[in-house]
Structure 1
Amino acid sequence: MADGKLSKLEGVKEASGFLRGSIAEDLLDSEPTVKSDNAQLLKFHGTYQQDNRDERKGGNKSYSFMVRSRIPGGKVTAEQFLAELDLADQYGNQTLRVTDRQGFQLHGVIKGDLKATIRGINEIKLSTLSACGDVCRNFMCCPAPHADSPIHEEMQSLAKKLALHFAPRSSAYSEIWLTDGDEKVKVSEIDFNEPIYGRTYLPRKFKMAVALPEDNCVDIYTQDLGLMAIVESGKIIGYNVLVGGGQGMTPAKKDTFPAIGFKLTFATTEQVVDVCEAVVKVQRDFGNREDRKYARMKYLIADWGMPKFKEKVEEYFGGALPEPHPTDVTGVDDHLGWHEQGDGKLFLGINVDNGRIKDEGDFRLKTALRVILRKYGMETRLTALQGILLCDIKPEDRADIEEILKSHGVALAEDLSLVRRYSIACPALPTCGLAVTESERFMPGVIEALEQTMAEHGLAGERITVHMTGCPNGCARPYTPDIGLVGKARGKYTVYLGGNPEGTRLGFLFQDLVPEAEISQVVAPVLARYREERHDQESFGDYCFRIGKEGLAAS
Structure 2
Amino acid sequence: MNDTINWEELSEVEKIKYDSSFLRGTLAESLIDPISGSIAPDDRQISKFHGIYQQSDRDIDKERKHQKLEPAWSFLIRVRMPGGMVTPEQWLSMDSLSEKYGNGSLKMTTRQTFQLHGILKKDLKTTIQKINESLLDTISACGDVNRNVVCHANPAESPLHAEVIGLAKKIGNHLLPKTNAYHEIWLDKKLVASSKETVEPLYGDRYLPRKFKIGIVIPPNNDCDVFSQDLGLIAIVENDTIKGYNVIVGGGLGSTFGIPETYPRAGSVIGFCKPEQVIDVAEKVVAVQRDYGNRKDRKQARLKYTIDHRGLEWFENELQKYLGYPLEKPAPFKLTHMGDSYGWKKGTDEKWHLTYFVEGGRVKNEGDKRVKDALREAAGISDGNFILTGNQNVILSGVSEKVKTKINAILKKHNVSPHSISGLRKNSISCVALPTCPLAFAEAERYLPSLITKMEGILEKYNLLKEEMVIRMTGCPNGCGRPSMAEIGLIGKSQGHYNLYLGGSFEGDRLNTLYRETIAEPEILQELELLFKDFASSRNKGERFGDFVIRKNYVKEIREGKEFRH
Q: Normalising to structure 2: TM-score of the pair? A: 0.93
Instruction: Specify the SS of the correspondent of 1:548.
Output: coil
Count the aligned residue pairs: 546
Q: Specify which of 440, 447, 450 is matched with residue 442 of structure 1.
A: 447
Query: Shift of residue 327 of structure 1?
Result: 2.2
Q: Specify which of 13, 16, 20 is matched with residue 20 of structure 2.
A: 16
Q: Specify which of 377, 383, 386 is matched with residue 392 of structure 2.
A: 386
Residue equivalent to 1:5: 9
Counterparts in 2 of 1:117 and 1:488: CA distance versus 1, 3 Å: same
Q: How does 1:41-60 map to 2 (within 5 A)?
A: 41-56=46-61, 57-59=63-65, 60=69
2:195 matches 1:195 = no
| In 1: Cα distance, 2:222 partner to 2:192 partner | 47
Q: Structure 1 residues 340-349 or 507-516, which shifts more? A: 340-349
| In 1: Cα distance, 2:555 partner to 2:285 partner | 39
Instruction: Specify the SS of the correspondent of 2:515.
Output: strand
2:406 matches 1:400 = yes
Q: Structure 1 residues 223-232 or 327-336, which shifts more? A: 327-336
Residues 79 and 377, structure 1, Cα contact 8 Å, conserved in 2: no
Query: Shift of residue 376 of structure 1?
Result: 2.5
Residue equivalent to 2:168: 159
2:38 matches 1:33 = yes
Give ranges in structure 2 of 5+ residues lacking alignment: 1-5, 558-566
2:513 matches 1:503 = no
Residues 170 and 194, structure 1, Cα contact 8 Å, conserved in 2: yes
Residue equivalent to 1:227: 233
Query: Shift of residue 377 of structure 1?
Result: 4.3
The one-letter amino acid paired with 1:135 is V
Counterparts in 2 of 1:191 and 1:89: CA distance versus 1, 3 Å: farther
Identity of aligned residues (%): 44
Residue equivalent to 1:132: 142
2:127 matches 1:117 = yes
Q: Specify which of 310, 315, 336 is matched with residue 321 of structure 2.
A: 315
Counterparts in 2 of 1:261 and 1:189: CA distance versus 1, 3 Å: closer
Query: Shift of residue 272 of structure 1?
Result: 1.3
2:486 matches 1:476 = no
Residue equivalent to 1:545: 550
The one-letter amino acid paired with 1:140 is V
Instruction: Specify the SS of the correspondent of 2:210.
Output: coil
Q: How does 1:304-343 map to 2 (within 5 A)?
A: 304-343=310-349
Residue equivalent to 1:99: 109
The one-letter amino acid paired with 1:213 is P
Counterparts in 2 of 1:41 and 1:481: CA distance versus 1, 3 Å: same
2:85 matches 1:81 = no
Residues 243 and 263, structure 1, Cα contact 8 Å, conserved in 2: yes
The one-letter amino acid paired with 2:184 is E
| In 1: Cα distance, 2:359 partner to 2:307 partner | 36
Residues 230 and 238, structure 1, Cα contact 8 Å, conserved in 2: yes
Counterparts in 2 of 1:244 and 1:111: CA distance versus 1, 3 Å: same
Instruction: Specify the SS of the correspondent of 2:506.
Output: coil
Q: How does 1:272-311 map to 2 (within 5 A)?
A: 272-311=278-317
Residues 514 and 555, structure 2, Cα contact 8 Å, conserved in 1: no
Counterparts in 2 of 1:343 and 1:320: CA distance versus 1, 3 Å: closer
Per-residue CA deviation, residues 167-210 of structure 1 (Å, 9 max, x unaligned), is 111000000001177xxx48678985211111111000000000
Instruction: Specify the SS of the correspondent of 1:226.
Output: strand
Residues 18 and 192, structure 1, Cα contact 8 Å, conserved in 2: no
Residues 240 and 325, structure 1, Cα contact 8 Å, conserved in 2: yes
Residue equivalent to 2:563: none
Instruction: Specify the SS of the correspondent of 1:203.
Output: coil
Per-residue CA deviation, residues 29-60 of structure 1 (Å, 9 max, x unaligned), is 11200011000000000000001111222414
The one-letter amino acid paired with 2:301 is A
2:250 matches 1:240 = no
Residues 434 and 443, structure 2, Cα contact 8 Å, conserved in 1: yes
Q: Normalising to structure 1: TM-score of the pair? A: 0.95
Q: Specify which of 152, 158, 171 is matched with residue 180 of structure 2.
A: 171
Residues 44 and 130, structure 1, Cα contact 8 Å, conserved in 2: yes
Per-residue CA deviation, residues 253-304 of structure 1 (Å, 9 max, x unaligned), is 1111101000111011111111111111000000000000000010011111
| In 1: Cα distance, 2:218 partner to 2:72 partner | 44
Residues 156 and 345, structure 2, Cα contact 8 Å, conserved in 1: no
Query: Shift of residue 419 of structure 1?
Result: 1.2
